[in-house]
A and B are shown apart, each in its own frame.
Chain A
Amino acid sequence: MSKRVTSGSELVISGISRAFGAVQALDRFSLTIAPGELVCLLGPSGCGKTTALRIVAGLEKSDAGTVMIDGEDLLAKDANQRDIGMVFQSYSLFPNMTVAENIAYGLRVRKKSKEQINKRVAEMLELVSLQSKMNSFPHQLSGGQQQRVALARALAIEPRVLLLDEPLSALDAQVRTQIRDEIRRIQIESGTTTLFVTHDQEEAMAISDRVGVMQHGRLEQIDTPNTLYNKPETTFVAGFVGITNYIPSVADSKNEVQVLGQVLEISEHSSVVKKGEEVRALVRPESIHVEKASHGAKIITKSFLGPMTRVGVDAGLAELIYAEMSSKEAKKFDTGDHVKISITTEMVMVESV
């Protein structure tokens, strides 16, 4: 495999805003992506992640703010002058062109020589392992193959920044994982600075150097997947990234909370609480320990997830409490068993009710 490492470009988005009528899609959104980095924007529908990406691409206007690549202001330029590669959710391959012609398109409009085009198309076909399909038309390819062609087409122009707008959403689960890994491999090989938009947290965590979680047009937190999961800075991030139990609790003081009969420290970034206030403690399923008991809480659901198993426990609260354990350990439990549950961490995040 031919390997091409580029230095990549720095993308700096500063305070961009965009309103559609009364809806504020983006509200002073800022983000800096280092050269060669892959950053994912993650958030629920309507949080503004796609709008941000489209403004960078030049497909949407911004009401305020700047977008710079390597210090050059992009907002004054048309979409076709930005040197940005884009991959869309719906593939958007040109139906009248073969795979090779699709990949060559950006080079043709740049008036590259025939030799340069042929060489680059061959490199790209090799990169996405589709040499045998070079003369096929898009309708003759599977969804995964089409998206690989779209990726090759976007990379063929050696873009300063690569934008991926939910590129895996239209694919089935198995192909999605495969293409996801392939995108990451190709991105590392090409060293292209990449902004990836998705609403799938697993996808974001698996592929990114950093993940930015968005809500109401603003960035709630941006960090490595590990930090984001283990040290969320807001209750929204804690709730949106990974599975979280919201356990009704009572604050013992402004620093301590009683959860399931245990006194735990309140982590920073929690809501400000006062003694006696009813709150909700956010606890990850892997931080819940389950042991057999003769009475009390009862296992209601048991979901096998491969190496891990998740059990849903009725502890007399409004909602089930979920705990995760190794599937080997989970063999000891069945639905209907009485259990005792406890929290294994010393610190929890709380939010006001």
Chain B
Amino acid sequence: MKINLSKYSTIGLVSLLSLIIFVIPYSASLEYSLRGKFGKGHDLTNYLWIFHQEGFLSHLSLSLELGLLAGLLNLVLMVPTATFLHLSLQRYKSLVDFICILPLMIPVVSLAVGAEYAMPSFLQNSQMELVFFFVILALPFTFRVLDSALSAIPLKTLVEASRSLGASWPATIMRVIVPAAKGGISSAFFLSFALGIGEYTITSLLHWDTFTTWTVDISQQNVLGSIALSTFSFLFAIALLVTIALVSSNRKKKQKELGETS
């Protein structure tokens, strides 16, 4: 068997870089966060300290709620938009593309202050306004993900087939487009979700308190605890993404098995 040396050397190089950039710092953080009182021994003291801090669960659940709502709102807004852009409004695609890029071009301070004033007053007084900011911040990424996901499926004929069979537009989007482009749609959702639960700048500028701002405040009280907190946040995000990936691959596997046994 011929061994492809260049392929193996590329894999080796990428692994080495990953080790230097990710594995070493995170391993060091993990080791540091597990150190006992006064740096002696290893135990879960610092992690237990996080869970006992006031507001841990309330801030975490608020961030999860805001992230979830941002992810859903993003899909409700962008899936139909991207669908119609692909089907019949191709000429407006570059305009929408430009609008979606604006959150990367406009300084966050201007965005926060400007958009805050544009919000209806009942939203200005509610933490729910953050959902809209998270949606805006995620637009540059979610639009591109959805755009390429919809380009990868025969969208026009699927929509026409669904419509000719009697389905309304909402039914066509929910029953045909969403499942056919679910890879891209779930990526768009998790991008907004992840951005929502990790966003700090706008939340802090608008004087709201979420898990990220709470993390910064609490970190100032305990050095080892702050390391434990950042490690916990990182592992929590990884666990969330791995769970989602596993659920999605299990569903794919089940579909495949069902097809093969028929």
Number of A residues near B (Cβ < 8 Å) is: 37
Q: Contact mask A81-94 → B, CB, 8 Å, 1/0?
A: 11111101010111
Q: Is B121 an interface residue (CB 8 A)?
A: no
Q: Is the CB of A137 within 8 A of B259?
A: yes
Q: Is the CB of B166 within 8 A of A157?
A: yes
Task: Output the least CB separation between B59 and chain A (Å).
Answer: 38
Q: Is the CB of B168 within 8 A of A88?
A: no
5 sample A-B contacts, Cβ–Cβ < 8 Å, listed by A number? A58-B164, A105-B165, A133-B262, A135-B262, A153-B165
Distance of A98 Cα from B261 Cα, bound (Å): 12
Chain B residues within an 8 Å CB radius of A81? 166
Q: Is A110 an interface residue (CB 8 A)?
A: yes
Task: Output the least CB separation between A258 and chain B (Å).
Answer: 54
Chain A residues within an 8 Å CB radius of B167? 80, 105-106, 109
Q: Is B158 an interface residue (CB 8 A)?
A: yes
Q: Which size class do B's interface residues fall under?
A: 20 to 34
Give the 7 A-B CB pairs with smallest separation, nearest first.
Answer: A135-B262, A106-B165, A96-B179, A92-B157, A92-B161, A86-B164, A79-B163
Q: Is the CB of B164 within 8 A of A57?
A: yes
Distance of A351 Cα from B160 Cα, bound (Å): 43
Task: Output the least CB separation between B91 and chain A (Å).
Answer: 14
Chain A residues within an 8 Å CB radius of B261? 135
Closest to B157 in A: A92
Decide: A86 near B161, CB < 8 A? Known: A80-B166, A96-B179, A109-B166.
Answer: yes
Chain B residues within an 8 Å CB radius of A82? 164
Q: Contact mask B128-166 → A, CB, 8 Å, 1/0?
A: 000000000000000000000000011001101111111
Chain A residues proximal to chain B, CB less than 8 Å: 57-59, 78-86, 88, 90, 92-98, 105-106, 109-110, 132-137, 140, 150, 153-154, 157, 163
Point out which of B154, B157, B258 has the most chain A C-beta atoms below 10 A from its C-beta: B157
Distance of A137 Cα from B252 Cα, bound (Å): 12
Distance of A65 Cα from B100 Cα, bound (Å): 42
Distance of A84 Cα from B168 Cα, bound (Å): 14
Looking at the complex, which one of A59, A92, A109, A140 makes contact with B154 (CB distance below 8 Å)? Answer: A92
Task: Output the least CB separation between B77 and chain A (Å).
Answer: 23
Chain B residues within an 8 Å CB radius of A92? 154, 157-158, 160-161
Q: Contact mask B246-262 → A, CB, 8 Å, 1/0?
A: 00000000010011111
Chain A residues within an 8 Å CB radius of B157? 88, 90, 92
Decide: A109 near B165, CB < 8 A? Known: A90-B154, A96-B182, A137-B259.
Answer: yes
Distance of A59 Cα from B88 Cα, bound (Å): 12
Looking at the complex, which one of B158, B171, B182 makes contact with A94 (CB distance below 8 Å)? Answer: B158
Q: Is the CB of A105 within 8 A of B162?
A: yes
The A-contacting residues of B in range 155-195, CB under 8 angstroms, are 157-158, 160-168, 171, 175-176, 179-180, 182
Closest to A156 in B: B165
Closest to B179 in A: A96
Chain A residues within an 8 Å CB radius of B259? 98, 135-137, 140
Q: Is the CB of B262 within 8 A of A132?
A: yes
Point out which of B158, B160, B258 has the most chain A C-beta atoms below 10 A from its C-beta: B160
Distance of A42 Cα from B149 Cα, bound (Å): 36
Chain B residues within an 8 Å CB radius of A163? 164
Q: Is the CB of A95 within 8 A of B180?
A: yes
Looking at the complex, which one of A80, A95, A106, A135 makes contact with B258 (CB distance below 8 Å)? Answer: A135
Chain A residues within an 8 Å CB radius of B260? 140
Distance of A313 Cα from B68 Cα, bound (Å): 77
Chain B residues within an 8 Å CB radius of A134? 262
Closest to B165 in A: A106
Chain A residues within an 8 Å CB radius of B176? 94
Closest to B176 in A: A94
The A-contacting residues of B in range 226-262, CB under 8 angstroms, are 255, 258-262
